[in-house]
Amino acid sequence: MLDEKLRVIVASRSFYAAFRVDPEETEGQLLYDLGDGQWDIPKLRVLLESIIPEKEVMEGYEVEHLFPELGTRTMRLNARRIFSKDGTNKTILLGIEDVTARLKLESDKEDLLRQKEMLLAELQHRVANSLQIIASVLAMKARSVSSLETRGHLEDAHKRVLSVAAVQKQLHAAEATSTVEVTPYLEKLCGSLSASMIGDSRTIVLKVVGDKGNASSRDAESLGLIVTELVMNALKHAFPEDKPDGIITVEYDVSGPNWELAVSDNGVGKSDAVATPGGTGLGTGIVKALSQQLEARIETVTDTQGTRVSIAHAPSPKTALRAV
């Protein structure tokens, strides 16, 4: 507590302990004379002699100063003028908080986050390179084997590795935020899939339509892998050589907390409609497992006009109640 002339009226025990001074050598002394002038700080003078008389209150005012025996410290100052009832007695209440350790922790945290980002970038770069190497090895092995069945398995594995690389690449591009805009993400992903799996040899169009909507990077990864599997399945089964032209459409629609992802084609389909997928292949298992992680249901409708597989998410009543 300071009087109008900035002399110390009284100080707290924590002040005496922190700055290693006694009440006898503090009370009644001019603030700037304390401790051989350690509080004669230009920024503190500005606060007490200019800002406080004008504004009467100041909060969060930081000063950095070299204090004897304590070293360089950062102090956060809060000050306000206090008036007596008759207005004749004016004092200043000055609060001093040593935030040196806190600021260092915040700085260390920022350094760790930067190091983490650098390590993640390096890891993603190495993963991408490793996936490309694996894909190249699988493609080379597929060309060298004579068994058509083995070649088919190797080619499927090659495409799946490329699909994981495409998903990883798109998520890496969007890693600056904690959420991912789903439709733009799927557009970029399908562009990569189209370039790697369709190319110029087949007249098949892969397009994305849908609403705006965000998802966590983990959910976006699952959605991307589902789309990849369903697109691969359509390319493999929906368009035989006698039906070269085709359209594969990826749709993403949002309605409140609900969303629906669908992949449809205008391929050969099947003669009978199927309400739910009943396949037991690797691709079907991957789609089912990812859909369960997303708490979504799968529905497949197929006929001679093509096939449509939808993955719809709707919170259960219990989940919705918890959310409220």
**187-232, pLDDT tens digit by residue?**
888 887 887 777 666 788 999 998 878 888 788 888 988 998 899 8
Dist CA 88 CA 237 (whole Å): 92
**Mean local confidence (pLDDT), 15-31:** 86
* All structural domains of the chain with their residue ranges: 13-98, 111-176, 179-324
- CA 187, CA 249: separation in Å to the nearest integer? 11
Mean pLDDT, all residues of the chain: 80
* DSSP3 helix / strand / coil % (the chain, rounded to 5): 50, 25, 25
User: What are φ and ψ of residue 88, in 5° steps?
Assistant: -85, -30
The confidence band for 33, taking pLDDT boundaries of 50, 70 and 90, is: confident
Residue 63 has pLDDT above 60, yes or no: yes
Q: What one-letter code names the amino acid at 187?
A: E
Lowest mean pLDDT among 115-119, 228-232, 245-249, 313-317: 313-317
From CA 8, how far away is CA 96, in angstroms rounded?
14
Residue 120, C-beta contacts closer than 8 angstroms, at least 6 positions apart: 175
- Looking up tokens 């369709």 gives 198
> What is the C-alpha separation between 7 and 102, in angstroms, rounded?
30
pLDDT of residue 296: 93
Query: Both ends of the chain: CA-CA distance in Å?
Result: 49
Interatomic CA distance for residues 53 and 70, integer angstroms: 30
Share of the chain above pLDDT 70, in %: 82
CATH topology of domain 179-324: Heat Shock Protein 90 (3.30.565)
pTM of the model: 0.53
| Angle in degrees, CA 267, 270, 276, rounded to 5 | 105
Correct CATH for 13-98 of 3.30.360, 3.30.450, 2.60.40, 3.40.50: 3.30.450
Ordered alpha helix ranges (H), 56-99? none
Question: How many residues are recorded in the chain?
Answer: 324
